């Protein structure tokens, strides 16, 4: 099953996503971390998330770009690696999108390039689903503040909207966490 968990910054979406994985009953739990750590704030965020996962049996895989390779060391043969016993938590689409968007340069991308990148990101993420029984994808609500931004940020917001729509369409359940309260939008 594919779950898409969204919400604003500090909404409780990470805790809720971990709850979904822990309640899946899967003894094998992968945590695919996409954040590239910059500065003290980034370090603090990583430490907070590590503390949340402590003692829960997650196998952490750092994968800031090309997330389709996150499980490359694991056989895709269901009989060999028993994906029915595995759950995967991917955190977070917004970091992954920024890492991919700005991997080579900070030049503005045209609409066609944004559309291609959205397809790549959604495809890379969804390619992990057949490898596990349950996949929980954490993303962010970044376009609901109504503020006008510089062109580069606007492109990022557009990219996130495209990726989130594609992931939402393929997810069995879409949940928005608002002030720690999960609101089910699909499923």
Cα(181)–Cα(187) distance, integer angstroms: 16
Q: For residue 61, which of 51, 73, 75 has the smallest C-alpha distance?
A: 73
14 assigned to a ligand binding site = yes
56 assigned to a ligand binding site = no
163 and 116 in contact (C-beta within 8 Å)?
no
The token pair at 161 is 């909207």
172 labelled catalytic: no
62 assigned to a ligand binding site = yes
> Which residues face 4 on adjacent strands?
137, 174
146 assigned to a ligand binding site = no
Q: Could you give the angle at the alpha carbon of 141 between the alpha carbons of 140 and 145, nearest 5°?
A: 145
108 assigned to a ligand binding site = no
Q: Which of 4, 17, 49, 136 is catalytic?
A: 49
91 assigned to a ligand binding site = yes
80 assigned to a ligand binding site = no
9 assigned to a ligand binding site = yes
Task: Write the DSSP string, 43-98.
Answer: HHHHHHHHHHHTTS-EEEEE-SS-GGGTTTTS-S-HHHH-GGGEEEEEE-HHHHHH
**Catalytically annotated residues:** 49
Report the binding-site residues for GTP: 7-14, 62, 91
Report the binding-site residues: 7-14, 62, 91
């Amino acid at each position: 099953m594919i779950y898409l968990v969204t919400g604003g910054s500090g909404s409780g979406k990470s805790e809720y996503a971990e709850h979904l994985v822990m309640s899946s009953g899967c003894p094998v739990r992968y945590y695919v971390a996409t954040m590239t750590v910059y500065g003290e704030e980034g370090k603090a965020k990583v430490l907070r998330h590590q503390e949340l996962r402590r003692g829960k049996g997650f196998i952490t895989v750092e994968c800031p770009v090309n997330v389709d390779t996150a499980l490359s060391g694991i056989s895709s043969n269901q009989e060999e690696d028993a994906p029915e016993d595995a759950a995967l938590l991917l955190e977070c689409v917004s970091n992954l999108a920024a890492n991919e968007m700005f991997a080579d340069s900070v030049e503005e991308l045209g609409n066609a390039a944004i559309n291609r990148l959205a397809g790549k990101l959604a495809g890379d993420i969804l390619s992990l689903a057949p490898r596990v029984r349950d996949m929980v994808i954490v993303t962010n609500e970044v376009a609901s503040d109504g503020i006008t931004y510089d062109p580069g940020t606007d492109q990022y917001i557009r990219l996130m909207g495209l990726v989130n729509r594609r992931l939402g369409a393929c997810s069995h359940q879409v949940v928005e966490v608002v002030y720690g309260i999960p609101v089910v939008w699909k499923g």
